[in-house]
Amino acid sequence: MSQAFIFPGQGAQFPGMGKALYEKSSRARTLFEQANDILGFRISDIMFEGSAEDLRATKVTQPAVFLHSVVSFFNLPAPKPSMAAGHSLGEFSALVAVGALSFEDGLRLVARRAAAMQSACEQSPSTMAAVLGLEDAKVESVLAGITDEIVVPANYNCPGQLVISGTLAGIEKARMALLEAGAKRVLVLQVGGAFHSPLMEPARQELKSAIESTRVSKPLWPVYQNVDALPYVDPDAIRSNLINQLTAPVRWTQIVRKMLSDGATSFTECGPGNVLQGLVKKVDRHIETAGVGE
């Protein structure tokens, strides 16, 4: 059996996340307190006692999901992955789980990423939208026809669900055109900006220097990276892909298909929620999935 471990991204957070782990596990407590020291504020208090609104703050959301995911993985008695992947932010969690990044470096990069993305969002008013019920190729074709605004594929989540990203005007033009092309729904998302688009270039540049100065080790198991859905073990390639991730689409559908073709027989989601399990089932409803959280 080949077990794939997968790690969720931003949006999986919920009030009270991680509290049960903290109370039950001494190792979890150590990691939470270490995170509090690294971040310079008690993120554990916000995770355990804060409201949904508190958890939506940029400097909290990404470190919180990362921390919950990594602690969930390390709290397993004997995890035996054959491969790993993470959705957007989750790629950092995956890299820590397989030993390519240290916990400390992973958390520092995630905190830097959150700040850089927030800054980029403030520079360019923008958003994202979920396109439902249309083939990926058709969505790509429609977007290619919009040349006066930035609007691009951002998250290939599963068959029939592709998130697009761009300027406010670009998303509105795309919404109308995609509905006309046969999309069942095009839902504008409540997000701060156009993640995984060229509008994140300022954030990519800021994160680039941080990633280049961070040690990346050869992972214990291959990591399937967002930018091209291929498995990597070479530290230099992993670093390059991580830098380019912010402005490139998340190819999650392709990652799941590649893992399956490479022999994955089950998928275990580590972290808050079960969104990725649902997306895996949309690719292959027969595949075994499980979740590891609280």
Q: Measuring CA to CA, which residue among 181, 263, 168 is closest to residue 222?
A: 263
As a whole number of angstroms, the distance between CA 294 and CA 280 comes to: 21
Catalytic status, residue 88? yes
Which is the catalytic residue, given 44, 126, 196, 240?
196
**How many angstroms separate the first and last alpha carbons of the chain?**
25
Spatial distance between the Cα atoms of 120 and 110, rounded to a whole number of angstroms: 15
Q: Distance between CA 247 and CA 196 in Å, rounded?
A: 4
Tell me how far apart the alpha carbons of residues 164 and 177 are, in angstroms, rounded to a whole number.
Answer: 13
Let me know if 51 is a catalytic residue. Answer: no
* Residue whose pair of structure tokens reads 């530290």 in the numeric block: 235
Q: Which residues contact 38 (CB under 8 A, 6 or more apart)?
A: 104, 107, 108, 111
CA neighbours closer than 13 Å in the CB half-sphere of residue 79:
27
> Of the residues 44, 69, 88, 124, which is catalytic?
88
> Distance (Å, rounded) from C-alpha 110 to C-alpha 62?
7
Q: Cite the active site residues.
A: 88, 196
